[in-house]
């Protein structure tokens, strides 16, 4: 396995500035991630805070036992009880088969940073992965993309929840899920790992009640020895611990919402793209009503109601809900970081470009709740390249950095053009220029016969050009057919390196890689040391 760092320019201006021009954003964050002194400062800040360590560890231990978590995880859960322990945390929805590759990249990022900071601080630093089990957008997680016949095919599970329920509350339709798994494995080629991997997935599926359960079991299949601790944020026992923190979010709701709204407007005025949609009267909390998740907003009198008036509470009534039935409440993207900070001694949060974009408006929310925003680090980013693809890249002279950033379309056209002399496009261009020269006297003379004839002459030239374009297209098609094998190789590399016009990690899943290289692949990738200063890593497996 060879791993090379490469430099990529982010398409998001805010994320680019966060990594390369932090001074322009430093007022939006509490810590500069490039300043090494922040870690001891943050550790000392956490030592002065109080956490429900014993109760939290007991709850997490219970849910992890249900998932069959490895002993290394149980050891780290026990360490969480120690006053000197801290955590590195990241989270994601419970995607099928863990979802796109960037979910696994987040996990590797958490493991890497926890390992590095534990060594530096000489104190326990526990890697935490937070399943956002309260999220209710099932359409975001109900599918995978698999490469089939030179395209990425979307394979969706045939289960439609009856209500807008949280993912952790959706019971898996086992027959539908097994059919979906079979569809996925029909696409991959049989290898020495296929049978074992398939049976491990089916076994995990049959043991799982919810999609969050299925997600957690597969994560531990991939990372059984690293001490990763997985937490389902929607577990009702977790909710009971969150009661006092929900009360703070309700008491300080107006300050939280208005602070975030103002920060969002400033970012827009500064020209930064925004991925968060927030209004000054958003409560940034959900209420679970009749099995559905209802987003709350705040009225001018301080009361709370559903966006479509499904429920209504006075401030005192909602505080009572937080006190007596906190399992009826859940967070959105604004208050979830506040809840993580309240529950865990967060040494650092790790996020992707989109998450760092909306974290850039959360500092006022932390301040309103009487907390300090933790250091925020961009997650590690990888592109995996197998041996066959690497050999093809060498033969076609495609550099990894260009292929990952832009794809292979440009190289394909250049290669095709080099197969004929002179190139078809250049020949077509020259013919058009010559015809334009020959045709010009006719156009000039046509003006003597009136505007109708003059327009007809112009259209005549355009018709001739269209015929040339048609011939050019057919000649290129003929050339492509002649070099069909090479064209397919360019297209396959494009799907591997830059599918759908973006990074591999946003469309590809773990399935083809584990099928080809075994369930320990990502463990082996994690055994290497990575710097969080690098933009991207190319992994040759």
Largest CA distance in the chain: 96
Q: How far apart, in whole angstroms, are the C-alpha atoms of residue 338 and residue 242?
A: 11
Q: CB burial class (10 A; 0-12, 13-18, 19+) of residue 277? A: exposed
Helices 211-222 and 101-121 meet at what angle, rounded to 10?
60
CA distance linking residue 366 with residue 374, whole number of Å: 10
3-state helix, strand, coil in the chain (%, to 5): 55, 15, 30
Q: Is 428 helix (H, G, I), strand (E, B) or coil?
A: helix
Long-range contacts, stretch 171-177, CB < 8 angstroms, 24+ apart:
171/209, 171/210, 172/205, 172/208, 172/209, 172/210, 172/211, 172/213, 172/214, 174/205, 174/206, 177/205, 177/214
Tens of each residue's pLDDT in the chain, 541 residues: 999 999 999 989 999 999 999 999 999 999 999 999 999 999 999 999 999 999 999 999 999 999 999 999 999 999 999 999 999 999 999 999 999 999 999 999 999 999 999 999 999 999 999 999 888 889 999 999 999 988 999 999 999 887 888 899 999 999 999 999 999 999 999 999 999 999 999 999 999 999 999 999 999 999 999 999 999 999 999 999 999 999 999 999 999 999 999 999 999 999 999 888 899 999 999 999 988 899 999 999 999 999 889 999 999 999 999 999 999 999 999 999 999 999 999 999 999 999 999 999 999 999 999 999 999 999 999 999 999 999 999 999 999 999 999 999 989 888 877 776 567 787 788 889 889 988 998 998 898 888 899 899 999 999 999 999 999 888 888 877 777 788 889 999 999 999 999 999 999 999 999 999 999 999 999 999 999 999 999 999 9
Give the phi and the psi of residue 353 in degrees, each rounded to 5.
-55, -45
CA–CA distance, 42 with 40 (Å, rounded to integer): 5
Crossing angle for the helix pair 243-251 and 253-269, nearest 10 degrees? Answer: 70
Q: Do 100 and 506 contact (CB within 8 A), yes or no? A: yes
Distance from C-alpha of 61 to C-alpha of 316, rounded to nearest angstrom: 34
**What does the pLDDT read at residue 311?**
96
DSSP 25: T
Tens digit of each residue's pLDDT (9 = 90 or more) over 234-270? 999 999 999 999 999 999 999 999 999 999 999 999 9
Give every CB contact of residue 424 below 8 A, 6+ residues apart in sequence.
417, 472, 475, 476, 479
Distances (CA, A) of 332 to 73, 119, 467: 27, 34, 57
Angle 368-372-375 (CA atoms, 0-180°, nearest 5)?
140
The predicted structure's pLDDT at residue 136: 85
Question: Of 166, 179, 170, 161, whose CA–CA distance to 211 is shortest?
Answer: 170
pLDDT in tens, 58-105: 999 999 999 999 999 999 999 999 999 999 999 999 999 999 999 999
Identify whether the C-beta of residue 267 lies closer than 8 Å to the C-beta of residue 279: no
Structure tokens at 63: 């849910």
**Gap between the Cα atoms of 362 and 338, Å rounded:** 9
Nearest to 267 by CA among 360, 401, 184: 360
Between CA 59 and CA 229 the distance in angstroms is: 12
pTM (predicted TM-score)? 0.89
Q: What is the pLDDT of residue 289?
A: 92
Q: Domain-by-domain residue ranges, the chain?
A: 1-241+330-353+367-383+508-532, 434-482
Can you tell me whether residue 287 is helix, strand or coil?
strand
Dihedral over alpha carbons 37, 43, 44, 48 (to 10 degrees): 150
């Amino acid at each position: 396995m060879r791993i090379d760092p490469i430099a990529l320019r982010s398409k998001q201006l805010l994320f680019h500035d966060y990594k390369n021009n932090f001074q322009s954003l430093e007022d939006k964050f509490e810590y500069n991630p490039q300043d090494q002194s922040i870690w001891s400062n943050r550790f000392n800040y956490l030592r002065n805070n109080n956490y429900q360590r014993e109760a939290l560890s007991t709850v997490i231990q219970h849910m992890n036992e249900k998932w069959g978590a490895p002993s290394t995880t149980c050891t780290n859960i026990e360490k969480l009880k120690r006053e000197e322990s801290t955590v590195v945390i990241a989270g994601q929805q419970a995607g099928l088969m863990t979802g796109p590759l960037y979910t696994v990249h987040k996990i590797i990022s958490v493991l890497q940073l926890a390992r590095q900071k534990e060594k530096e601080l000489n104190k326990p630093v526990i890697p935490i992965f937070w399943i956002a089990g309260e999220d209710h957008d099932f359409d975001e997680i109900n599918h995978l993309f698999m490469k089939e016949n030179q395209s990425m095919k979307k394979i969706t599970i045939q289960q439609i929840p009856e209500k807008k329920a949280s993912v952790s509350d959706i019971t898996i339709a086992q027959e539908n899920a097994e059919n979906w798994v079979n569809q996925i494995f029909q696409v991959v080629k049989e290898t020495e790992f296929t049978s074992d991997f398939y049976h491990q997935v089916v076994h995990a599926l049959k043991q799982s009640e919810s999609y969050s359960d299925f997600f957690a079991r597969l994560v531990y299949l991939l990372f059984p020895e690293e001490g990763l601790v997985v937490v389902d944020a929607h577990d009702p026992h977790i909710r009971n611990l969150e009661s006092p923190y929900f009360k703070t979010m309700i008491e300080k709701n107006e300050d939280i919402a208005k602070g975030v709204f103002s920060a969002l407007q400033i970012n827009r005025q500064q020209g930064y793209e925004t991925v968060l949609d927030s209004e000054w009267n958003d409560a940034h909390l959900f209420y679970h009503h009749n099995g559905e998740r209802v987003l709350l907003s705040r009225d001018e009198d301080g009361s709370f109601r559903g966006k479509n008036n499904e429920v209504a509470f006075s401030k005192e009534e909602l505080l009572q809900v937080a006190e007596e039935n906190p399992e009826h409440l859940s967070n959105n993207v604004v208050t979830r970081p506040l809840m993580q900070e309240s529950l865990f001694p967060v040494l650092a949060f790790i996020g992707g470009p989109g998450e760092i974009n909306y974290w850039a408006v959360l500092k006022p929310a932390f301040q309103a709740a009487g907390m300090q925003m933790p250091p925020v680090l961009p997650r590690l980013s990888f592109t995996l390249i197998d041996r066959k693809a690497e050999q093809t890249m060498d033969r076609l002279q495609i550099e990894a950095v260009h292929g990952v950033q832009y794809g292979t379309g440009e190289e394909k056209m250049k290669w095709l053009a080099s197969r004929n002399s002179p190139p078809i496009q250049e020949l077509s261009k020259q013919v058009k220029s010559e015809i334009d020269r020959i045709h010009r006297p006719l156009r000039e003379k046509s003006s003597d016969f009136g505007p109708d004839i003059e327009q007809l002459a112009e259209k005549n030239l355009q018709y001739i050009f269209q015929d040339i374009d048609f011939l050019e297209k057919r000649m290129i098609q003929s050339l492509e057919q002649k070099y069909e094998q090479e064209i397919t190789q360019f297209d396959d590399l494009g799907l591997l390196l830059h599918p759908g016009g973006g990074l591999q990690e946003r469309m590809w899943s773990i399935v083809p890689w584990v099928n080809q290289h075994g369930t320990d692949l990502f463990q082996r990738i994690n055994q290497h040391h990575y710097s969080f200063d690098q933009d991207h890593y190319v992994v040759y497996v």
